[in-house]
Amino acid sequence: MGLVIQSVSTSTEVVNGRRITTRKIIENGQERTEVEEDGQLKSIKINGREQLKC
């Protein structure tokens, strides 16, 4: 197996009573941004491009 390098930064803020958590994950040169609202995943971006959420 190869070496996996991962960096994770998380920020949480409350907007109009809703808790918004943004998680930025950089893994092997690929950047993924996940946004959760009140614990539910709302969006995923990989390298800046919106991904379909199933």
Per-residue model confidence as pLDDT tens digits over 16-47: 999 999 999 999 889 999 999 999 999 999 99
54 belongs to a structural domain: no
How does residue 3 score in pLDDT terms, banded at 50, 70 and 90? confident
The C-alpha atoms of residue 34 and residue 50 are separated, in whole angstroms, by 10
Parent domain of 28: 1-37
Torsion of CA 26, 27, 28, 29, to 10 degrees: -20
Beta strand pairing call for 6-15 and 18-27: antiparallel
15 belongs to a structural domain: yes
Whole-number Cα distances in Å, 22 to 3, 51, 52: 26, 15, 17
Query: Number of folded domains in the chain?
Result: 1
**pLDDT of 1 above 70:** no
* pLDDT score of 2: 76
18 belongs to a structural domain: yes
pTM above 0.85, yes or no: no
* pLDDT score of 53: 65
48 belongs to a structural domain: no
The C-alpha atoms of residue 9 and residue 17 are separated, in whole angstroms, by 23
